[in-house]
Amino acid sequence: WVALLTSLGVFQQYRFSFSKNPQKSFVTVLAIIVLMLGSVTGLYITAQKFIVAVLLQKSSVLFTVGEPDKAYDLMNSTVLFGRNDLYYRALADINLAKLRALLGRSGASIDAIRSEFQSVLGSAIENARQATEFDETNYLNWVSLARVYESVVSLGITGAYDNAQRAYEEAR
C-alpha cells in the first residue's frame, strides 16, 4: 500500500544521506538507539506484568480447587517479580485457608499439627503485615491483618483479639 500510494504521489518521498551531514547522522543513529532501548525496556516490563497476571490466575485456580500449597508457591513466586500489597494479601488468605485445613485435620500427631500451625500462622501474620507496610493507606491491607488475628481469637491465643481490634481501627 505504501509503495502504491507513493508512486501515485499521495505520499511525498524524502531522501536523506548519512554521508553528507555527519551531525545529522549521529543524532539520527542516537535517536534510533534510544528508541530501541525504550522498546526493549517496554517489552520487558510488559512481559513481566503478563507473567505475574498468569501466575496470579493459576494461583487463584489452584486455590479454588483446593490446593493451597501449590497456590501458595505460585503466589510466592509473584513476589519475586515485584512487591505489591495484593500479592501479600493473597498470600495471607491462602495461609488462612491452610490454617482452617490444619484445624480440621485428624490422624496426625498433636505436636506436628501445632508446629505446622505456628509456622503457617507466623507466615499469615507476616504476609498481612507486609501488605500494610507496602501501603498503609489501603484499608484492605489492615482488614487482611485483622482477619488473620480474628481467625485465631477463638483459640485463645494471647493478644489476638487486641491485635485484630487495632488492625480494624487502622482500617477505618
pLDDT above 90 (res 123): yes
In angstroms, rounded to a whole number, what is the distance separating the alpha carbons of residues 32 and 58? 39
- Supply the DSSP symbol for 11: S
Average confidence (pLDDT) over 123-128: 96
DSSP letters, 27-73, are: HHHHHHHHHHHHHHHHHHHHHHHHHHHHHHHHHHHHHHTT-HHHHHH
Distance CA 161, CA 163 (A): 6
Q: Which three cell numbers stand for residue 128?
A: 498481612
Place of cell 505520499: 11
Q: Where on the phi/psi map is residue 106: left (φ > 0), alpha (ψ -120 to 50), or beta?
A: beta
Is 92 a residue whose pLDDT tops 90?
A: yes
| Whole-angstrom Cα Rg for the chain | 27
pLDDT of residue 34: 98
Using one digit for the tens of pLDDT, what is the confidence trace for 20-57? 788 888 888 899 999 999 999 999 999 999 999 999 89
Q: For 2-17, what is the mean pLDDT?
A: 81
Distance CA 172, CA 165 (A): 11
C-alpha cell at 116: 505446622
Query: What local confidence, expressed as pLDDT, does residue 139 receive?
Result: 95
- For the entire predicted model, the pTM comes to 0.74
Amino acid at 171: A
Question: How far is the C-alpha of 148 from the C-alpha of 92, rounded, in Å?
Answer: 7
Identify the sign of the CA torsion 85, 74, 82, 40. negative
Sign of the C-alpha dihedral, residues 135, 141, 146, 151? negative
- pLDDT given for residue 2 in this prediction: 82
Looking at residue 81, its pLDDT comes to: 85
Q: How confident is the prediction for the chain on average, in pLDDT? A: 90
Q: Is 90 exceeded by the pLDDT of residue 111? A: no
pLDDT band at 152 (very low <50, low <70, confident <90, very high): very high
